[in-house]
Amino acid sequence: MVTFNRVILAGNLVRDPEIRYLPSGTPVANFSIAVNSRYRQNNELKEEVSYFDVVAFGKTGENCAEYLSKGRPVLVEGRLRQRRWEAEGTRRSKIEVVAGIVQFLGGGPKGAPAEGDTGGGTPAEEQDEDIPF
């Protein structure tokens, strides 16, 4: 069976990244991006916004936490991951983007690298540890 799981998104950060550390010491940054899409319906141009949660590990995560901030445009390349858990007797799930590459776009208020610099030019290492949050 052939499988393929790759996603590329360009959008703006909804809030500042949050950084945490796994028990192994590996940094993990979490942030959300808003992606605008346009389509035509009944000869009228419509626009919708989709929100995506992103998780970035290692040096990529550290760079995201240091240089990105709310409103900053980014391009994220990675894979989709579904997390499942149970809370208060209810099964829950969440789909998020595990970033392999984060490209910082435009200038930013945190003095980020110039346009075109990346938040980790090499793909992030896979982390199989459970994230405790």
Q: Tell me the two tokens of residue 83.
A: 């997390």
Fold annotation for 7-104: OB fold (Dihydrolipoamide Acetyltransferase, E2P) (2.40.50)
Residue pLDDT, tens place only, 21-35: 999 999 999 999 999
Please state the three-class secondary structure of the chain as a single string.
Answer: CCCCCCEEEEEEECCCCEEEECCCCCEEEEEEEEEEEEEEECCEEEEEEEEEEEEEEHHHHHHHHHHCCCCCEEEEEEEEEEEEEEECCEEEEEEEEEEEEEEECCCCCCCCCCCCCECCCCCCCCCCCCCCC
Residue pLDDT, tens place only, 88-102: 999 999 999 999 999
- Specify the length of the chain in residues: 133
From CA 16, how far away is CA 68, in angstroms rounded?
7
Q: What is the mean pLDDT of residues 68-75?
A: 97
From CA 98, how far away is CA 124, in angstroms rounded?
9
Lowest mean pLDDT of 15-19, 55-59, 126-130, name the range.
126-130
